[in-house]
Amino acid sequence: TSRFGAWLDVAVDNLGRGMLWSLLFKWGWMVSALEWCVFMYNHSTRGEQWNSFGSSPPLVQAVTANGNPPATVFRTPLGVWVVGGLHCLPVWLYACQWGVLSHWLELPLWIQHVGMLLLAAGRVLEVFGMSAVLEHLHCCYSPGKTVYQRQICET
């Protein structure tokens, strides 16, 4: 419930997902690095309001609707889909890789593929949550900006 607890929760989530992504693919560290960049950007620029998405695009607001108090962020059908893609996709892929879904649970191959596609689509929706990062990069590094304009943007 504290600010540190909220930070620690996200940090532990990132560590766990990062380890899974690294086990799955040689380039898995890149997924983890991107998640850490977004995490650090959100906590450094938004501070106390790290979960405030009021100025975000409509899709981000729909995903994060009902975000007051912070524990209720993502409690919409769209938000549940995004969180499912974020947390469950690496676990699903790991289970597919080790045959857990096909041999132990005996799920047909089409169900495994549909599950993977649904989770991947949720993960793609989560990318829209990075819109703040993209806005910042566009603001600071657009062609034609002077050094002074970039300094103002960064503050």
The model's pLDDT over 40-92, given as tens digits with 9 standing for 90+, comes to 766 665 554 444 555 556 666 666 665 554 445 567 788 788 888 888 999 99
pLDDT of residue 39: 73
Q: What is the DSSP-derived secondary structure letter of residue 130?
A: G
Q: What is the C-alpha separation between 20 and 97, in angstroms, rounded?
A: 12
Q: Which domain holds residue 85?
A: 3-154
Single out the residue of 29, 24, 51, 56 nearest to residue 39, CA to CA: 51
Q: What separation, in Å, do the N-terminal and C-terminal C-alpha atoms of the chain show?
A: 29
Provide the number of structural domains found in the chain.
Answer: 1
**Under a CB-based contact definition with an 8 Å cutoff, are residues 117 and 81 in contact?**
no
